[in-house]
Amino acid sequence: MEISARNKLPGVVKEIKSGAILAEVTISVGDNDITAIITKGSADQLDLKVGDRVYAIVKATEVMIGK
């Protein structure tokens, strides 16, 4: 997979909560979890399953930092 985004974090699908239109996908990235809301159609097209190795791709115009 080639993509222009620089923030590509490898992880493993931990949980999928699928609704009628959207899917909430939680990915374990190291010691952290990242949750993405994607369309159910996209989740189905990717054939996502718990345990799959995937990438969390972060593309944002703004990144906030807390301490």
- Asked whether the beta carbons of 38 and 54 are under 8 A apart, the reply is no
Query: Rounded to whole angstroms, how far apart are CA atoms 32 and 10?
Result: 12
Pairing mode of beta strands 22-29, 32-39:
antiparallel
Q: What is the pLDDT of residues 6-53, one digit of tens each?
A: 889 999 999 999 999 999 999 999 999 999 999 999 999 999 999 999
Q: What is the pLDDT of residues 37-50, one digit of tens each?
A: 999 999 999 999 99
Query: Rounded to whole angstroms, how far apart are CA atoms 46 and 29?
Result: 19
Question: Domains in the chain, start-ordered, CATH in brackets?
Answer: 7-58 (2.40.50.100)
- Asked whether the beta carbons of 56 and 3 are under 8 A apart, the reply is no
pLDDT band for position 55 (50/70/90)? Answer: very high
